[in-house]
Structure 1
Amino acid sequence: MTVLIDPPHWPGPRGLMWSHLVSDHTLDELHDFAALLGVPERAFDRDHYDVPETVHTRAVSLGAEAVSSRELLRRLVAAGLRRRKRHLPR
């Protein structure tokens, strides 16, 4: 039962770099942790929250485990929580 966060390597809005916040246990755990951080629900995308670099240190101080992006994805898939985008036929 762990919330994971990867390094802020993804460029995003407001000129900030962004991280992914996931759980390797349940989405409920993830939603509870995001609420504790003050991350808005609109930041949730299928199986993770996109969080700005300004949140990374606080997430870790509250108990999120800092891992590489590769490790985050591996653990998300292993937990059965990965939800890929569906590509619609054109």
Structure 2
Amino acid sequence: MTVLIDPPNWPGPRGLMWSHLVSDRSLEELHDFAARLGVPERAFDRDHYDVPETVHARAVELGAEAVTSRELLLRLIASGLRRRKRR
């Protein structure tokens, strides 16, 4: 399993900081991990889940690898799973 999570550096709803949760192997792996973490499906956005700072430590406890935002993006692109917004 290779699920990655970046630091909660992104401001978001409810005054919380948010992280991105991705897999560099498969979307199936990502969805399974998010379900185990208790993240709702509505938090999925093309190729990642947006998760609040309140679940960051739990994600790492469950096996997510904590990486920088840059490393997360580079590994997501290298995996072929990156899905950019359409313009």
User: TM bucket by the smaller chain?
Assistant: over 0.9
Q: Which residue number corresponds to residue 32 of structure 1? A: 32
Q: What pairs up with 1:1-90 in 2 under 5 angstroms?
A: 1-87=1-87
Between the two proteins, what is the percent identity of the paired residues?
Answer: 86
The secondary structure found in structure 2 opposite 1:4 is strand
Query: Structure 2 stretches of 5 or more lacking a match?
Result: none
| Partner Cα separation in structure 2 for residue 81 and residue 72 of structure 1 | 12
Matched residue pairs, number? 87
Per the alignment, in what secondary structure is the counterpart of residue 19 of structure 1? strand
Distance 1:37 1:80 in 2: 24
Structure 2 length normalisation: TM-score?
0.99
Cα offset for 1:49?
0.0
**Which segments of structure 1 move beyond 4 Å, counting only runs of 4 or more?**
none
Describe the SS at the equivalent of 2:76.
Answer: helix
Opposite residue 40 of structure 1, the aligned amino acid is: P
Structure 1 stretches of 5 or more lacking a match?
none
